[in-house]
């Protein structure tokens, strides 16, 4: 079928929207056990008598200070957990024992669980020697230039299941070192990135010293409270501060200064008393990766409890950016990686129909609870597990049926989570419960290789997925409707079914009862795979879409088919209440030369509520350059980089501008900066090579 040609500038806008926008936000890590584990797996051996010495290395940079923070919290309203403890000492004491309090900890003996006593690890692409001297922990490993050197461990992330060591680089960057300690199971050192990405060279984005492993950008937002981190573009230095290391009181209750002054309940947020969606956002801010409207380094526009999730975030589901698929999802749209609880729960029928949120089953970290913050039932029912008691309130009839419903006799099979939250979700070396809360669909195992709850338990040779299909049809014939939903989603999203996916994609998109995030994925895939043929279905969905995130996805999908051709539906979105939606419509319209779009982008770049969005400045900069207004173009691009200094695409565009002016030192500076954040950026590398060979790119 013919593919429409989107104007060059519009394409550039779409690329720049993707650059740096997808932020990995893992859930908060876990607390260390009572005593450090000393078990060492087969891949971990005693260190050789003499670890390699970096004899050929350049003089080592001075040891960075061990300071906890160099900047104050960005909001004067944050007072820190110690202040909260003055009135809430019992809650503070309980929270201190919970894993939220140890989301980030200084590397001290009392919290470090990994074996640092002359321990050696060797993987396919990484090797490390761990050592400890009193309270000083260190890892000797290959650095950014490929030379082995020693790096101090100043901080650790987590510790109940996995603990990640963090080093502070001389320029103030915090980087996650390559080897993590896996506490549960055998207790061993593992290379998490290698297990996910394969063998890593020093210029791979996920090599430990590169931008993708930067802690300020990818981790601290969810592992600290009141984060304030800043990057100085002139000195290339980082400075970082926060009100608390770890997920402290004000992460969930909001800034506490006013409450500390008045001591009135109305002056502090109680997540359990918020409207359901706002309460869910308190957990969702960290328990699932998302795109941020404003850059992560923009502390003033950070989410605070009581805000709406959709005013700050869009959940990442199936697609990372553009047409790039995430490897963290099954073909039916369910997350297959731990820390995606928000994405899973919000596509469940428990949430969509029953209104369930995290707080339906889980308690506050400082409240009495069972394992994993599961609420303790007030009136326990004999024979009902703590996990299942969370389900009992909504599914009393099912509980009353007992084995008539389960068709199993074992005690384990009477637990709701066995069939509806199976341990099919991976987290490095562990398995976790599936928070999508659905019925088993062995048909998708047969057709798409998606694991199902039945075969999670029934692993013997005769228990094939096909036999599970027959058993499900016999014992739970009413489950067919629920199964049909997941089968349709898999047929819509599966890569191998792309040529035949139009009908299921349109069905998912048109289903108003379906999760908005999954409908958004259907919109993007429909536009990518069927271009102009997708427009009628996309327009129909937009006409009735009430969810702002879905409207934003629909605007992006429609724009990708040709902004001018769909201006009739994009222009009205320029007045949408959602800033996400207005930007999603304005950028491509402006790039395509539609006057209303240009006016909207100019307004976004000027109005106080939106001036800190980098992308309107990028578009205005490019448009200015296109009409020959170089001074304004540079001004707008520089403003975009003040807001989002790690956007390599903008740095390369700016380098080209300076090169055309004959300012080669300035152009080189931008290209080198781009490679600091994206070592594999082909355009930056090629331009630098041309400069070295005396042929600057004009």
Q: Average pLDDT, stretch 89-113?
A: 95
Do 386 and 374 form a contact (C-beta atoms < 8 A)?
A: yes
How confident is residue 430, by pLDDT bands cut at 50, 70 and 90?
A: confident
- Say if residue 314's pLDDT is above 60: yes
Distance CA 260, CA 264 (A): 8
pLDDT at 164: 95
- CB atoms < 10 A from the CB of 508, how many? 27
**411 domain-assigned:** no
The per-residue pLDDT of the chain, averaged, comes to 87
Claim to verify: residue 184 and residue 48 sit in the same structural domain: yes
- State the DSSP H helix or E strand holding residue 468, giving kind and residue range, or none if neither: helix 465-475
Of residues 521 and 400, more confidently modeled: 521
Show Cβ contacts of residue 47 under 8 Å, excluding neighbours closer than 6 positions.
118, 119, 120, 129, 130, 131
User: Which 3 state secondary structure label does DSSP give 148?
Assistant: strand
Domain residues for the domain of 81 are 31-268
Q: Domain boundary at 268, 299, 323, which? A: 268
Q: Average pLDDT, stretch 148-158?
A: 96
pLDDT at 95: 96
Claim to verify: residue 588 and residue 665 sit in the same structural domain: yes
Q: What pTM did the predictor assign?
A: 0.88
CA–chain centroid gap for 6, Å, is 30
CA atoms lying within 13 Å on the CB side of residue 442: 19
How confident is residue 74, by pLDDT bands cut at 50, 70 and 90?
A: low
Distance CA 524, CA 11 (A): 15
Q: What is the pLDDT of residues 110-129, one digit of tens each?
A: 999 999 998 999 988 889 99
Q: What is the pLDDT of residues 475-485, one digit of tens each?
A: 999 999 999 99
pLDDT at 21: 40
pLDDT at 308: 96
pLDDT at 642: 97
How confident is residue 697, by pLDDT bands cut at 50, 70 and 90?
A: low
- Say if residue 386's pLDDT is above 70: yes
Q: Domain boundary at 252, 268, 284, which? A: 268
Claim to verify: residue 13 and residue 77 sit in the same structural domain: no
Q: Average pLDDT, stretch 432-457?
A: 95
Q: What six digits make up the tokens of 381?
A: 């029912």
- Say if residue 560's pLDDT is above 70: yes
Claim to verify: residue 14 and residue 44 sit in the same structural domain: no
Of residues 461 and 100, more confidently modeled: 100
Claim to verify: residue 558 and residue 597 sit in the same structural domain: yes
* Length of the chain in terms of residues written: 698
pLDDT at 589: 98
pLDDT at 38: 27
Residue 147: burial class (beta carbons within 10 Å; 0-12, 13-18, 19+): middle
Claim to verify: residue 567 and residue 674 sit in the same structural domain: yes
Q: Average pLDDT, stretch 618-622?
A: 97
**517 domain-assigned:** yes
- CB atoms < 10 A from the CB of 276, how many? 13
Q: Average pLDDT, stretch 327-331?
A: 92
Q: Domain boundary at 268, 300, 333, which? A: 268
Claim to verify: residue 196 and residue 134 sit in the same structural domain: yes
pLDDT at 25: 35
pLDDT at 31: 33
Claim to verify: residue 224 and residue 101 sit in the same structural domain: yes
- Say if residue 413's pLDDT is above 50: yes
Claim to verify: residue 144 and residue 259 sit in the same structural domain: yes
**338 domain-assigned:** no
Q: What is the pLDDT of residues 129-150, one digit of tens each?
A: 999 998 999 999 999 999 999 9
Nearest Cα to Cα of residue 325 among 26, 550, 533, 529: 529
Of residues 523 and 387, more confidently modeled: 523
- Say if residue 50's pLDDT is above 60: no
pLDDT at 93: 96
Q: What radius of gyration do the chain's Cα atoms show?
A: 26
**361 domain-assigned:** no
How confident is residue 468, by pLDDT bands cut at 50, 70 and 90?
A: very high
Picking from 205-209, 415-419, 692-696, which range would have the lowest pLDDT averaged per residue?
692-696
Share of the chain above pLDDT 70, in %: 89
Claim to verify: residue 203 and residue 75 sit in the same structural domain: yes
Q: Average pLDDT, stretch 331-348?
A: 95
**425 domain-assigned:** no
For residue 159, report the phi and psi dihedrals to the nearest 5 degrees.
150, -10
Do 248 and 101 form a contact (C-beta atoms < 8 A)?
A: yes
Q: What is the pLDDT of residues 204-253, one digit of tens each?
A: 888 999 998 999 998 999 999 999 999 999 999 999 999 999 999 999 99
Q: Average pLDDT, stretch 654-658?
A: 97
- Say if residue 570's pLDDT is above 50: yes
pLDDT at 527: 97
pLDDT at 698: 53
Of residues 195 and 356, more confidently modeled: 356
Q: Average pLDDT, stretch 69-85?
A: 75
**229 domain-assigned:** yes
pLDDT at 76: 65
Q: What six digits make up the tokens of 66?
A: 């061990």
Q: What six digits make up the tokens of 515?
A: 């999760």
CATH code (residue 653) = 1.25.40.10
**353 domain-assigned:** no
- Say if residue 450's pLDDT is above 50: yes
How confident is residue 36, by pLDDT bands cut at 50, 70 and 90?
A: very low
Do 114 and 132 form a contact (C-beta atoms < 8 A)?
A: no
- Say if residue 35's pLDDT is above 60: no
Distance CA 142, CA 467 (A): 50
- Say if residue 543's pLDDT is above 90: yes
**314 domain-assigned:** no
Claim to verify: residue 641 and residue 510 sit in the same structural domain: yes
pLDDT at 75: 54
Distance CA 114, CA 161 (A): 11
Q: Average pLDDT, stretch 318-343?
A: 89
Claim to verify: residue 13 and residue 156 sit in the same structural domain: no
Q: Give the C-alpha distances (Å, rounded to integers) separating 83 from 92, 259, 324, 413, 503.
A: 10, 11, 45, 46, 57
pLDDT at 41: 31
- Say if residue 276's pLDDT is above 90: yes
Domain count, the chain: 2
For residue 165, report the phi and psi dihedrals to the nearest 5 degrees.
-80, 140
């Amino acid at each position: 079928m013919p593919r429409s040609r989107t104007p060059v500038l519009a394409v550039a806008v779409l690329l720049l929207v993707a650059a740096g926008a997808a932020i990995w936000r893992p859930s908060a890590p876990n607390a260390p056990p009572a005593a450090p584990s000393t078990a060492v797996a087969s891949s971990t051996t005693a260190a050789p008598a003499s670890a390699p010495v970096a004899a050929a290395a350049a003089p080592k940079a001075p040891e960075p200070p061990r300071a906890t923070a160099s900047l104050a919290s960005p909001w004067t309203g944050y007072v820190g957990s110690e202040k909260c403890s003055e009135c809430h000492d019992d809650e503070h004491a309980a929270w201190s024992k919970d894993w939220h309090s140890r989301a980030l900890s200084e590397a001290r003996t009392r919290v470090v669980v990994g074996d640092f006593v002359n321990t050696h690890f060797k993987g396919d692409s990484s090797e490390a020697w761990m050592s400890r001297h009193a309270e000083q922990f260190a890892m000797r490993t290959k650095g950014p230039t490929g030379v082995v050197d020693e790096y101090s461990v100043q901080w650790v992330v987590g510790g109940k299941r996995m603990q990640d060591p963090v080093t502070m680089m001389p320029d103030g960057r915090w980087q996650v070192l390559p080897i993590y300690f896996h506490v549960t199971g055998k207790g061993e050192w593992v290379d998490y990135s290698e297990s996910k990405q394969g063998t890593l060279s020093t210029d791979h984005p996920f090599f430990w010293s590169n931008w993708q492993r930067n802690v300020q950008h990818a981790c601290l937002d969810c592992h600290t409270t009141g984060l304030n981190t800043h990057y100085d573009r002139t000195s290339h230095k980082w400075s970082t501060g926060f009100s608390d290391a770890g997920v402290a009181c004000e992460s969930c209750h909001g800034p506490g200064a006013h409450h500390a002054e008045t001591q009135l309940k109305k002056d502090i947020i109680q997540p359990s008393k918020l409207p359901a969606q706002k309460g869910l956002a308190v957990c969702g801010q960290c328990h699932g990766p998302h795109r941020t409207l404003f850059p992560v380094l923009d502390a003033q526009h950070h989410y605070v409890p009581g805000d709406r999730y959709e005013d700050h975030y869009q959940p990442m589901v199936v697609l990372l950016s553009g047409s790039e698929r995430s490897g963290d999802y099954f073909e039916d749209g369910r997350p297959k990686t731990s820390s995606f609880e928000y994405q899973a729960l919000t596509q469940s029928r428990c949430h969509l129909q029953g209104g369930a949120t995290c707080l339906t089953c889980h308690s506050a970290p400082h409240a009495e609870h069972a394992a994993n913050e599961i609420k303790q039932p007030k009136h326990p029912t004999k024979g009902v597990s703590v996990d299942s008691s969370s389900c009992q309130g909504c599914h009393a009839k099912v509980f009353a049926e007992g084995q008539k419903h389960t068709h199993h006799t074992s005690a384990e099979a009477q637990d709701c989570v066995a069939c509806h939250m199976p341990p099919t979700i991976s987290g490095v070396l562990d398995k976790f419960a599936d928070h999508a809360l659905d019925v088993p669909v062995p048909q998708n195992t047969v057709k798409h290789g998606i694991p199902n709850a039945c075969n999670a338990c029934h692993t013997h040779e005769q228990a094939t997925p096909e036999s599970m299909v027959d058993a499900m049809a016999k014992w739970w014939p009413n489950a067919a409707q629920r199964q049909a939903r997941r089968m349709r989603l898999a047929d819509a999203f599966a890569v191998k079914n792309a040529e035949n996916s139009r009908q299921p994609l349109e069905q998912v998109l048109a289903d108003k009862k379906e999760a908005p995030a999954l409908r958004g994925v259907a919109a993007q895939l429909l536009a990518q795979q069927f271009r102009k043929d997708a427009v009628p279905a996309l327009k129909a969905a937009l006409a009735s879409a009430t969810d702002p995130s879905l409207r934003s996805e629909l605007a992006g999908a429609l724009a990708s088919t040709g902004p001018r051709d769909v201006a009739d539906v994009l222009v009205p979105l320029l007045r949408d209440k959602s800033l996400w939606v207005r930007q999603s419509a304005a950028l491509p319209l402006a790039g395509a030369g539609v006057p209303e779009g240009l006016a909207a982008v100019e307004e976004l770049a000027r109005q106080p509520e939106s001036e800190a969005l980098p992308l309107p400045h990028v578009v205005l900069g490019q448009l200015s350059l296109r009409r020959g207004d170089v001074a304004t173009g540079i001004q707008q691009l520089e403003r975009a980089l003040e807001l989002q200094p790690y956007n390599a695409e903008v740095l390369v565009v700016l380098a080209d501008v300076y090169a055309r002016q004959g300012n080669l030192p300035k152009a080189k500076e931008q290209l080198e900066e781009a490679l600091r954040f994206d070592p594999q950026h082909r355009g930056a590398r090629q331009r630098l090579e041309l400069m070295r060979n005396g042929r600057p790119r004009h």
